[in-house]
């Protein structure tokens, strides 16, 4: 257990081994809670909502097809799904007999 001291203004210096174990650095945020006469510090991620929305829009605007060749039509996708279901049903029937 590491010993820390409360400094002026309520500051506490977290020992290096704890910062390393928690993978936290200067400027990170913590949620704190008083429990059983002690204090729990939990690292939290703070996200800029506007930046997150922008990143999400960029992600959703990217092409979705990553397969070989050109992107299949909706009818072709449906045919592939039907064939995949048939394959699974065939394998299931084989395993039951």
Predicted confidence (pLDDT) per residue in 78-89, tens digit:
999 999 999 999
- What integer pLDDT is reported at residue 36 of this predicted model? 93
What CATH number belongs to 12-44? 2.10.260.10
- On whether the CB atoms of residues 12 and 19 are closer than 8 A, the answer is no
Residue 71 in this model has a pLDDT that exceeds 80: yes
Instruction: Indicate if the alpha-carbon torsion angle 9, 23, 32, 52 is positive or negative.
Output: positive
Measured distance CA(92)–CA(86) in Å, rounded: 10
Rg (alpha carbons) of the chain, rounded to whole number? 27
Domain ranges of the chain: 12-44, 49-62+72-96
Judge if pTM exceeds 0.85: no
pLDDT, tens digit, for every residue of 26-67?
999 999 999 999 999 999 988 899 999 999 999 888 877 778
């Amino acid at each position: 257990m590491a010993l820390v001291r409360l400094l002026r203004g309520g500051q506490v210096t977290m020992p290096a081994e704890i910062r390393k174990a928690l993978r936290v650095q200067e400027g990170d945020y913590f949620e704190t809670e008083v429990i059983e006469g002690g204090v729990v510090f939990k690292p939290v991620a703070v996200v800029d909502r506007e930046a997150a929305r922008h990143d999400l829009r960029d992600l959703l605007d990217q092409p979705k097809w990553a397969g070989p060749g050109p992107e299949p039509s909706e009818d072709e996708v449906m045919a592939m799904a039907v064939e995949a279901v048939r394959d699974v049903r065939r394998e299931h029937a084989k395993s039951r007999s």
